[in-house]
Structure 1
């Protein structure tokens, strides 16, 4: 009974905030009244624009560099983002529902989740009427704390109401402009990463490594043996002059974030040019 009362009380306070800057924090407050949430982030993906941070409540300081990397390119590897952008999956999910096997061993997980202090994550993905979607990420930072099936049942029960509120709040497109589809360009850059230096199979393996897949799941996806996966990864690392998944991850991000006016191809081509060549090409 108290849960229903808390929900009704917070909902009554949230309605007048629709369309105002206070909406996001009030929405998080409502969710925190229902299940144990220690951190929350709300990110809006509008049309083809880069993600916009609407609410940020991380207890641990991830640092501006980590956050910038996420918003400018690392989000491409986020299981919640991929579920919406590539699979059109919407609703309430736990990280474990969406992440590939081996994800917690990935450099993306180390560079984002561990720095945030997250022990578990769940959240909503809702489509918006402006051809975008919103990700409401909810985190637990207490050691060994997880989101239970009961917690997820609560989130799913109220999902229609939360989605209707999000639709109302983000009903109108922002005034950020209607330029090129930047996210589509970044997807092309991710798909083409290393293609100028690697074989097609090596590129496929590297792409799956970046997405957090284990050697076993890569072998299953590509219908090759585990030993063949290891061989392709070894050859790819040698060609890219990296020795670990961490170095691969940062090479991808650095090449991506340095690409200006990207129009296709492998971002490494321009990134690996000597600084003098880059300057002459710009003129």
Structure 2
């Protein structure tokens, strides 16, 4: 009886296993000849697409200290070029995948919901980056490829489609192979080591500090990262009502009335800063007569 059951299971799962092994073989066969060439990232994505459905994909390389490099990108019609420009110039600082790798040193295969804070889908970052692009879900490989250097292989789904647990398990079964391929490809790369990203982190931490109290600055920083009022309260060990009060005062001082206005004020002040070496980017930004009004 047991032998009969095992044979039935083997016969039903064999075609699926053969298909996955064939796709894995194809992935490796595609990527190995492309190592150290400009085609590597494209071949990697094409190989992964044989195993899981992917509507959108990008490969971002974060060299030591440098701004991200967009190595490969498939642009959906719904995504504007300016969105990607803002991301590469500084919005990436708020990206859950970037934060996981750069700050928390977490590497592996993750769904967006596994890395984002509570109610992240209500945040302005989610609206401006994901919803405006038609994204329903994202799954990414975060691979450490050198000292303070990593790669994000980002895979997206559109139009109310999500990655299933079966698809996630398939991607995680490929983790070792993808990591080794990425390390081999980017092994010789190195960043400038000038700490551009370090300066941008300081700019994010100091945003609004010239006008706000220390606690108001902390609240605004967490709001920018997509944290809900409840999440901010838990992280700062204060009440929800206190968070609301700090946020209200901060918005009034910054002359914004919504999270959307706060988000774009941060991005505009950051992108307008030249040769940033410290302090609140709002100091120089607010002094410019051509600055945008958010009222």
| Candidates 261, 265, 268, aligned match of 2:282 | 268
Q: Who is 1:21 aligned against? A: 38
Q: Who is 2:251 aligned against? A: 237
Show structure 1 runs of 4+ deviating over 6 A: none
TM-score normalised by length of structure 1: 0.94
Q: Partner of 2:146: helix, strand, or coil? A: coil
Q: Deviations over 1:58-97 (max 9, x none)?
A: 3234222111100000000000000001000000000000
1:220 lines up with 2:220 in the alignment: no
| Candidates 56, 59, 65, aligned match of 1:39 | 56
1:117 lines up with 2:134 in the alignment: yes
| Candidates 144, 164, 179, aligned match of 1:163 | 179
After TM superposition, the structure 1 stretch with the greater mean CA deviation from structure 2, 12-21 or 185-194, is: 12-21
Q: Who is 1:191 aligned against? A: 205
Partners of 2:64 and 2:193 within 8 A in 1: no
Q: Who is 1:280 aligned against? A: none
RMSD: 1.3
Q: Partner of 2:135: helix, strand, or coil? A: coil
How many angstroms apart in 1 are the aligned matches of 2:89 and 2:255?
Answer: 24
Structure 1 residue runs of 5 or longer lacking an equivalent are 277-283
How many angstroms apart in 2 are the aligned matches of 1:86 and 1:179?
Answer: 17
Q: CA deviation at 1:274?
A: 3.6
How many angstroms apart in 1 are the aligned matches of 2:27 and 2:218?
Answer: 47
Q: CA deviation at 1:222?
A: 0.8
Q: CA deviation at 1:130?
A: 4.9
Q: CA deviation at 1:179?
A: 5.6
Q: Who is 1:173 aligned against? A: 189
After TM superposition, the structure 1 stretch with the greater mean CA deviation from structure 2, 59-68 or 210-219, is: 59-68
Partners of 2:30 and 2:44 within 8 A in 1: no
Q: Partner of 1:260: helix, strand, or coil? A: coil
Q: CA deviation at 1:147?
A: 1.0
Change (3 A) 1:131 1:219: closer
Change (3 A) 1:9 1:245: same
Partners of 1:256 and 1:267 within 8 A in 2: yes
Q: Partner of 2:280: helix, strand, or coil? A: coil
Structure 2 residue runs of 5 or longer lacking an equivalent are 1-17, 291-295
How many angstroms apart in 1 are the aligned matches of 2:277 and 2:172?
Answer: 41
Q: Deviations over 1:133-153 (max 9, x none)?
A: 00000000032x111221111
How many angstroms apart in 1 are the aligned matches of 2:146 and 2:235?
Answer: 34
Partners of 2:30 and 2:47 within 8 A in 1: no
TM-score normalised by length of structure 2: 0.90
Partners of 1:130 and 1:171 within 8 A in 2: no
1:208 lines up with 2:225 in the alignment: no
| Candidates 67, 80, 98, aligned match of 2:84 | 67
